[in-house]
Amino acid sequence: MLDFDTAQARLAARGRAPAGRETLPLDALYGRVLAEDIIAGLDLPPADNSAMDGYALRAADAAAPGATLPIQQRCFAGQAPDPLLPGQAIRLFTGSVIPAGADTVVMQEDCREDAGRVAVLAPPAPGQHIRRRGEDMRAGQTVLLRGTRLGAGQLAVLAAQGHDRAPVFPRLTVGILTTGDELVPPGQPLPPAAIHNSNAPMLAGLCGGMGTAAPLLRHARDDADATRRALAELNEACDLVLSVGGASVGEKDLVKPAIEALGGTLDLWRVRMKPGKPVALAELNGRPVVCLPGNPVSAFAVFTLLVSPLIRGLQGRRDVLPPIRRGILDTSRPVGGERDDFLRIQAAQGAAGLPRLTPHTQQSSGALGSLAWAHGLARIPAGARLESGAEVDWMALSDWLV
């Protein structure tokens, strides 16, 4: 069997950034991936300004205990102050430009104003409560890197630098192919021996949560021609195709021969992971096809740990492998086996600083309810037998599925 880390690295390496790009307005950029570096054209702050509501003055003028100074001017944010006269103070507010000649700001809580004068209650230190020009960003500095997924903080940087638009990579288009005569769409009555198709909405939701375009869904019955037609349609329309089930060697496993009939090449793996042993990576007309296990729990685990890095790479993101956290296992019985075991866990704050990781009571690949319950997947290395209190790696779904 292929070890888990090698399988993850192979899929991540296939995630090459798209060649195209599009320029979008600021209000359409959230969640998109930046296609080029952003260089600051402005110093931020653009001038020295006050970090507090208070009074700008020379520290030396207020060094004597109980010093009082006449208030030369009141200056609000957005107004240009006059130069500070010796022995005087200028009343200003958070964000106000520091007047020429002032070297400190005394916050209003440390002052008492009366009859046009201000008493400074404690001698100030030079430079206090002043935000210096360019201390946040300097003109010429790279402030956002190509491959960054744009969130609210990144949009704030773009706006502060005066950008009303930015170049981004096109949205990734994903096709999802489910197969099997036993699958019935949700909302329709179930015949005997049938089950509802949970893989299609699950995978569509996972893709959407990662910022792809709305996935294109197709279902093929257990028929070679139908499987081939559905696969060909998705491959032509999408950057990536995910198939679910049908890629093994059974009589009704028709995805593998469909890929080969369409001229694709397929590398079928048995990955040393649980859940999710059967995985395949195919290349069809220059686009990747990933074949996931048919069991929804296994498909979820493989998508989270193996497919999400591929998707991030295809989106053009810089960081394709999210952080791996550490936690303390809290289990009533020993865990582990011959494969890397990825336990569905909930994380809670532990006494020693690391979170306490409690596995779901049902860890079988058929325990679909555990997916809605879990915060993440804790990795139990192949061959290990771990008991409660062991420190382990875990992958938070909030890190890996965005």
The answer as to whether 402 is a domain residue is: no
Here the tokens at position 240 are 């990536």
pLDDT at 353: 87
Residue 250: is its pLDDT beyond 80? no
Give the CATH number of the domain where residue 163 resides.
3.90.105.10
Q: Confidence class of residue 366 from pLDDT cuts 50, 70 and 90?
A: confident
Instruction: Name the pTM for this structure.
Output: 0.92
Residues 198 and 299 in one domain: yes
Regarding whether 221 and 298 lie in a shared domain, the answer is yes
Whole domain around residue 193: which residue ranges? 4-18+171-315
The predicted-structure confidence for 208-231, as pLDDT tens digits, reads as follows: 999 999 999 999 999 999 999 999
* C-alpha to C-alpha distance for 108 and 54, rounded to whole angstroms: 4
> Does residue 241 belong to any structural domain of this protein?
yes
Pick the last residue of a domain from 118, 151, 168: 168
What is the model's pLDDT at position 248? 61
Residues facing 92 on adjacent strands: 54, 75
Mean pLDDT score, 224-246 = 95
Verify that 140 and 152 share a domain, yes or no: yes
3-state secondary structure the chain: CECHHHHHHHHHHCCCCCCCCEEEEHHHCCCCEECCCEECCCCECCCCEECCCEEEECHHHHCCCCCEEEEEEEECCCCCCCCCCCCCEEEECCCCECCCCCCEEEEHHHEEEECCEEEECCCCCCCCCEECCCCCECCCCEEECCCCECCHHHHHHHHHCCCCEEEECCCCCEEEEEECCCEECCCCCCCCCCEECCHHHHHHHHHHHCCCCCCEEEEECCCHHHHHHHHHHHHHHCCEEEEECCCCCCCCCCHHHHHHHCCCEEEEEEECEECCCEEEEEEECCEEEEEECCCHHHHHHHHHHHHHHHHHHHHCCCCCCCCCEEEEECCCCCECCCCEEEEEEEEECCCCCCCEEEECCCCCCCCCHHHHHCCEEEEECCCCCECCCCEEEEEEHHHHCC
Domain stops at, among 168, 186, 219: 168
- Tell me, yes or no, whether 286 and 222 share the same domain: yes
- Structural domain total, the chain: 4
Say if residue 265 is in the same domain as residue 364.
no
pLDDT, mean over the chain: 95
| Distance from C-alpha of 126 to C-alpha of 60, rounded to nearest angstrom | 8
Residue 212 lies in a domain: yes
Query: Residue 401: inside a domain, yes or no?
Result: no
The string of pLDDT tens digits covering residues 150-198 is 999 999 999 999 999 999 999 999 999 999 899 999 999 999 999 999 9
Can you give the CATH number for the domain in which 94 is found? 2.170.190.11
In a domain, 320, yes or no: no
Interatomic CA distance for residues 176 and 244, integer angstroms: 8
* Structural domain ending residue among the three candidates 131, 151, 180: 131
- Asked whether the beta carbons of 104 and 56 are under 8 A apart, the reply is yes
Q: In this model, does residue 252 exceed pLDDT 90?
A: no
pLDDT of residue 88: 98
Average pLDDT over residues 319-323: 97
Look at residue 249 and tell me whether its pLDDT is greater than 60: no
The reported pLDDT for the residue numbered 233 is: 98
